[in-house]
Structure 1
Amino acid sequence: MRNFLIITCVHHYAENGKYYGYGPYVREMNLWIRNKEKVTVLAPLISSQKPGKIDLAYDHPNLEFESVPAYHIQSWSARFQSLVQIPYILIRTFMEMWKSDHIHIRIPGNMGLLAMFVQVLFPSKFKTIKYAGNWDPESIQPLTYKIQRWIANSTHFTRNAKVLVYGNWPDNSPNVVPFFTASYRKEEEEPIKKISLRQKLKLVYIGAIYDGKNPEIGIYLSKILVDQGINFEFTYCGDGVMRQELEELSGEMGLSDHVSFLGNVTAAEIKEILKESHFLIFISRTEGWPKAVAEAMFWGCVPFTSAVSCVPEMVGKDGERGVLLSKDPEKLYQALLPFLNDESLFQQTSIAAMSWARGFNLEKFQTEIEKFE
């Protein structure tokens, strides 16, 4: 029986005999494993926690889960502990690769770093390697990310492999295949009609609330909108270490009537929010293929986002499908004004964004990954 091995650093949770992980990741992996005879997942399992609203379960009748420690080296105590954990993980990774027929490695990440070293020992086994971060060789990234990228790109150390990356970049080896991801099926497409911007401007942020995503920009933009007397609402969907700080900042600035924090919400709830929202405010420092941007565009929600990774390809460099910006809230406000003054501009940009995003549905994704079987 052919075995498809998944190696990832995504934290997993068990409940009622099923294994759960971060929803967008599991939704994608369920397409990868749909036609596989047997699936093995090698990843951290957090036994002390139950799956949350954002998590989904793997859907496969013959799936085995092999748990390993969720190691890191962010403190001295963790570094000492990793001296025991890393050799153990390396041995487990070698054993699972030995038993597999198709090795699927998710990078960049701690598990991916170790797996990229071990896969060198299996040059004849077919491998798909998903680089879910920013493949841009000029981008500022941690050294461990650069190491994983270098090994994946090397035809000497990584053989019989397809490395799936977001965007088209220079210096790619024959290993590399420009790729994409998807969130919705074609059958989910429907016409979108949003309320007038003049009636109420609807803004949304989707994602983890931590400093790497610059989520505070939405608060400062909201303050400008209040001062300008614009009727609006700003919805934060997601959770993270900065959530309480931003809620307090919002209260201090008198924005409680305009800004709301929903925490982690389901994919169905995200879908309904995006249908109603006019603009996504998402000025992240680094991304791969940001699902928040792609999903917003799918529902005609125009992205105001940063020019990282393949995002310029997604929104169009000339602004036909969105707006590329820095984290200056005054510049965000100035970029909003043309849309507020000319609603036809919003309609034109919204339709262009929706048309582009709907070209990358789950059916197309399934067709493309089947080429790697």
Structure 2
Amino acid sequence: MKFLVITDAHLIQQDGKKVAYAPYVKEMDLWMRHVDEVTFICPDTIKGTLLAQAFQRQDFKQIGLRRLEFHTFWIALISILTVPYQFFVLCFAFAKADHIHLRCPGNLALLASIAQILFPSKKKTAKYAGNFDPNAAQPIAYRWQKRILSNTFLTKNIDILAYGKWPDQSENVMSFFTATYRRNQITALSIRDWNGPFKSVFVGAMGANKRPLEILEIIKSLTKDGIDISIDYYGDGPLKNEMAVKIDEYNLHDKVRLHGNVDNSIVTEAYKNAHFSFLLSKSEGWPKAVAEAMFWGCVPVASAVSCVPWMLGCTNKQLQREEA
């Protein structure tokens, strides 16, 4: 089988190997075990750092395309001018593929969603890693690709893997979640002392979407109220330096620790020993930080976005009572 993957995720060369964002690589390694030939269409350069991991399989092909971005006038103009070429590349690759796999959401994924309409007989899957809530406020590009792929008239022969179970979805949409651990990794839970002091963790990118600064304010407030709680931050990103400044300003060095990106085994041990895991994201798909925390008996404190209420077993009535 010739398996074609279209994604906005960067795939680059590092130390002589093809690498990409680590959690994405782990998932794609599973898909790639079951096919003969693999081709990726995706950006092949990146500015800044990448939490990278090498693919287990290195014999795949890669077609590099410019990342379609629209945050400034000139970058938007360049992106618009490259759209016809990228559309042609996609159609040419679609014609040769046996199975087309779209990784959504993203601008390249939107273009691929439009191109796939021309190939109704091709077997297709789409992994929608973002928020599939039909009522969520999202960029127009995200809303368009959800509507195109969900439309059974425009899109044929596809399974859309969407996080969470949402009402009034088309037959194209399949409720889905990502497994985090294997059965043989299940161990007895650590016994925690719920009389304090309390340990908490944050696992994720230090960016505005994850709201690490707001979590710091919570820790500051709880400490001020006499609650003995500490937090360990695991992850890197643009807000890390500002976090360090705030920790100095609040004199919370003994309560807040910034670890940056660390090996997954270290994060696992942190979950095992923590009482709480904080994740106050503005938007999510399937937040592994919530699933992993629960797996190790760590209580998640999370914002009610995307499928998080579904993950935690909350009903709409429960959420309405909490909001009231």
Cα separation, 2, equivalents of 1:247 and 1:121: 51
Deviation at 1:263, TM superposition (A): 1.4
Aligned pair partner of 1:145 in 142, 145, 156: 142
Cα separation, 1, equivalents of 2:271 and 2:56: 27
Read off the aligned partner of 2:162 and give its amino acid letter.
V
Instruction: Provide closer, same or farther for how the CA distance between residues 262 and 85 of structure 1 changes in structure 2, counting only shifts above 3 A.
Output: farther
Which position in structure 2 is the counterpart of 1:57?
54
The 5 Å alignment of 1:41-190 reads 41-46=40-45, 52=50, 54-60=51-57, 62-190=59-187
Which position in structure 2 is the counterpart of 1:273?
270
Deviations 1:154-189 (A, max 9, x none): 011110000110111122111111111122111111
Instruction: Provide closer, same or farther for how the CA distance between residues 196 and 65 of structure 1 changes in structure 2, counting only shifts above 3 A.
Output: same
Deviation at 1:41, TM superposition (A): 1.0
Deviations 1:4-59 (A, max 9, x none): 1111101122124421111111111111111111111111112777x75x322222
Instruction: Provide closer, same or farther for how the CA distance between residues 184 and 75 of structure 1 changes in structure 2, counting only shifts above 3 A.
Output: same
Quick check: 2:17–2:58 contact (8 Å CA) kept in 1?
Answer: no
Number of residues of Structure 1 aligned to a counterpart in Structure 2: 318
Cα separation, 1, equivalents of 2:129 and 2:205: 16
The 5 Å alignment of 1:356-371 reads none
Which position in structure 2 is the counterpart of 1:28?
27
Structure 1's unaligned 5+ residue stretches are 319-323, 327-373
Normalised TM-score (structure 1): 0.81
Cα separation, 2, equivalents of 1:194 and 1:244: 34
Which position in structure 2 is the counterpart of 1:343?
none
Cα separation, 1, equivalents of 2:95 and 2:243: 48
Cα separation, 2, equivalents of 1:106 and 1:173: 19
Instruction: Provide closer, same or farther for how the CA distance between residues 274 and 110 of structure 1 changes in structure 2, counting only shifts above 3 A.
Output: same
Instruction: Provide closer, same or farther for how the CA distance between residues 48 and 315 of structure 1 changes in structure 2, counting only shifts above 3 A.
Output: closer
Aligned pair partner of 2:215 in 214, 218, 238: 218
**Equivalent residue of 2:80, what SS?**
helix
Quick check: 1:307–1:325 contact (8 Å CA) kept in 2?
Answer: no
1:15 aligns with 2:14: yes
Deviation at 1:288, TM superposition (A): 1.5
1:248 aligns with 2:274: no
**Equivalent residue of 1:307, what SS?**
coil
Deviation at 1:60, TM superposition (A): 2.1
Quick check: 2:282–2:303 contact (8 Å CA) kept in 1?
Answer: yes
Deviation at 1:243, TM superposition (A): 1.7
Which position in structure 2 is the counterpart of 1:6?
5
Quick check: 1:22–1:55 contact (8 Å CA) kept in 2?
Answer: yes
Read off the aligned partner of 1:280 and give its amino acid letter.
S
**Equivalent residue of 2:188, what SS?**
coil
Instruction: Provide closer, same or farther for how the CA distance between residues 132 and 193 of structure 1 changes in structure 2, counting only shifts above 3 A.
Output: same
Read off the aligned partner of 1:227 and give its amino acid letter.
K
Deviation at 1:228, TM superposition (A): 2.8
**Equivalent residue of 1:216, what SS?**
helix
Cα separation, 2, equivalents of 1:193 and 1:31: 30
Which position in structure 1 is the counterpart of 2:37?
38
Read off the aligned partner of 2:100 and give its amino acid letter.
I
Quick check: 2:6–2:109 contact (8 Å CA) kept in 1?
Answer: yes
Normalised TM-score (structure 2): 0.92
Quick check: 1:194–1:275 contact (8 Å CA) kept in 2?
Answer: no
The 5 Å alignment of 1:192-341 reads 192-317=189-314
Quick check: 2:215–2:280 contact (8 Å CA) kept in 1?
Answer: no
Quick check: 2:164–2:307 contact (8 Å CA) kept in 1?
Answer: yes
Range with greater deviation from structure 2 (67-76 or 264-273): 264-273
Cα separation, 1, equivalents of 2:58 and 2:8: 23
Percent identity over the alignment is 40
Instruction: Provide closer, same or farther for how the CA distance between residues 274 and 82 of structure 1 changes in structure 2, counting only shifts above 3 A.
Output: same
Deviation at 1:215, TM superposition (A): 1.6
Deviation at 1:87, TM superposition (A): 2.2
Cα separation, 1, equivalents of 2:108 and 2:73: 19
Instruction: Provide closer, same or farther for how the CA distance between residues 267 and 86 of structure 1 changes in structure 2, counting only shifts above 3 A.
Output: farther
Cα separation, 1, equivalents of 2:4 and 2:110: 16
Cα separation, 1, equivalents of 2:68 and 2:267: 31
**Equivalent residue of 1:158, what SS?**
coil
Cα separation, 2, equivalents of 1:74 and 1:250: 32
Read off the aligned partner of 1:228 and give its amino acid letter.
D
Deviations 1:257-288 (A, max 9, x none): 11111112232222221111111111111111
Read off the aligned partner of 1:38 and give its amino acid letter.
E
Moved over 6 A (4+): none
Structure 2's unaligned 5+ residue stretches are 316-320
Range with greater deviation from structure 2 (86-95 or 304-313): 86-95
Deviation at 1:195, TM superposition (A): 4.1
Give the CA RMSD over aligned residues. Answer: 1.9
Read off the aligned partner of 1:40 and give its amino acid letter.
T
Range with greater deviation from structure 2 (289-298 or 219-228): 219-228
